[in-house]
Amino acid sequence: MPVFVMSDLEVPIRGRTYREPDGTHSVVVRGRDLEPALQHVSSRHDCATLAVVGLPEAIPDLSAMKDRKLIVVDADSGRLHDFAEAAIKVGADVEWIRSARPSSERLAASLLPVGGVVLAAGSSSRMGGTQKLLLEFDGRPMVRHAVEAASEGGCHQIVVVYASDDIKQALDGHAELVHNPEALAGMSTSLRAGLNALRPDMEAALIMLGDQPLVGSRSVSTLLRSWRREGSRPAVAMAGGDKARWTPPVVLSRELWPELEALEGDSGARQLLERHPELLDVVPAQGRPDDIDTADDYAKIVRLFPRKRPTRRT
């Protein structure tokens, strides 16, 4: 989504433009330019978000922000409170940042929210009847690590696509759960279910696998920062090992979702990006992307990263 900068602000984030854009967009403005920004909002039903950096002394009429998102940025806590209260009264969705000069990364995170989709509907067919996502690593079910990495790494919404009730019970209360009754038809069905469950304000989806317990929050935050930078491509993934150029997790812009939702069978983001490698940026990230498919894989990570005694969740 374009980010229309209406003031003399240097905001090097994805989609930045100094010209009025067509279609759905956000606006960033200094407090001294708030009045013309509100006029713009009033005239454009497709202006979804207004970010104001450095609030003016007087609170103007904020009625144009009804049913829209207002991000207020200021170092004065009292002024933030007063603006937020006035905006809430007119029906705005308000977020505030207490800072005189917020980093572009902090502002980008508010303007370009990303939802996490954890794929956890596989049958664990190569684990000899054991549901691998329930195997414990560091005292928690393996799938919980993916949820925590997405949450602590900066995702604004997290959904887990599952098929087994055991997965649902293990994650109840830790994420939004989406049941996929068609999981046996392939990964594409879980990907489609997860994307459909994300809120309309999510600008991208972080696709994670439930069997990568060594992918931590630092890797997730690195991917999100890379995707939000000005000039980044629609997809950003972790660098892979010797056998693959890249590996999940991968961030996918909303513009790619229609093609992803059209996939069939066991196809996923890799099939789309192999056809269109020009859409992908690959970045190094901390953490290991090892996925756990077999009992030997699980034994290997427990041996290499011994923590608490591993047990199977019952």
Domain ranges of the chain: 3-111, 114-304
| DSSP 8-state secondary structure symbol assigned to residue 16 | E
Q: Is the pLDDT of residue 311 over 70?
A: no
**If residue 148 lies in a helix (H) or strand (E), which one and from where to where?**
helix 142-152
pTM above 0.85? yes
The better pLDDT of the pair 198, 103 is held by 198
The better pLDDT of the pair 103, 288 is held by 103
* Dihedral of alpha carbons 222, 223, 228, 230, sign: positive
Residues 6 or more apart whose CB falls under 8 angstroms from that of 146 comprise 118, 120, 208, 209, 210, 212, 213, 215
Selection from 229, 234, 279, 230 nearest residue 252 by Cα: 234
C-alpha 249/C-alpha 206 separation (Å) is: 7
Q: What is the pLDDT of residue 207?
A: 97
Return the minimum-mean-pLDDT range out of 23-27, 142-146, 231-235: 142-146
Strands (E), 163-257: 176-179, 204-209, 235-239, 246-253
Please check whether residue 143 is in contact with residue 167, taking contact to mean a CB–CB distance below 8 angstroms: yes
Mean pLDDT to the nearest integer, 133-138: 82
Q: What is the pLDDT of residue 123?
A: 66
Q: Is the pLDDT of residue 309 over 60?
A: no
Q: What is the pLDDT of residue 296?
A: 74
Mean pLDDT to the nearest integer, 197-225: 93
Q: Is the pLDDT of residue 62 over 70?
A: yes
The alpha carbon of residue 174 and the mean position of all alpha carbons in its chain are separated, in whole angstroms, by: 16
Please, what is the average pLDDT of the chain? 89
User: What tokens were used for 32?
Assistant: 């001294």
Q: What is the pLDDT of residues 234-288, one digit of tens each?
A: 999 998 765 568 989 999 999 999 999 999 999 999 999 999 999 999 998 776 6
Please check whether residue 211 is in contact with residue 142, taking contact to mean a CB–CB distance below 8 angstroms: yes
In the chain, what's the furthest Cα-to-Cα distance? 67
| DSSP 8-state secondary structure symbol assigned to residue 310 | P
Return the minimum-mean-pLDDT range out of 111-120, 128-137, 192-201, 250-259: 128-137
Q: What is the pLDDT of residue 80?
A: 96
Q: What is the pLDDT of residue 181?
A: 95
Q: Is the pLDDT of residue 111 over 70?
A: yes
Q: What is the pLDDT of residue 136?
A: 81
Mean pLDDT to the nearest integer, 135-150: 87
CB atoms inside a 10 Å sphere around CB 92: 22
C-alpha 7/C-alpha 175 separation (Å) is: 38
- Of all residues in the chain, what percent carry a pLDDT higher than 70? 90
CATH number of the domain located at residue range(s) 114-304 in this protein: 3.90.550.10
Mean pLDDT to the nearest integer, 79-83: 96
C-alpha 57/C-alpha 105 separation (Å) is: 26
Q: What is the pLDDT of residue 125?
A: 56
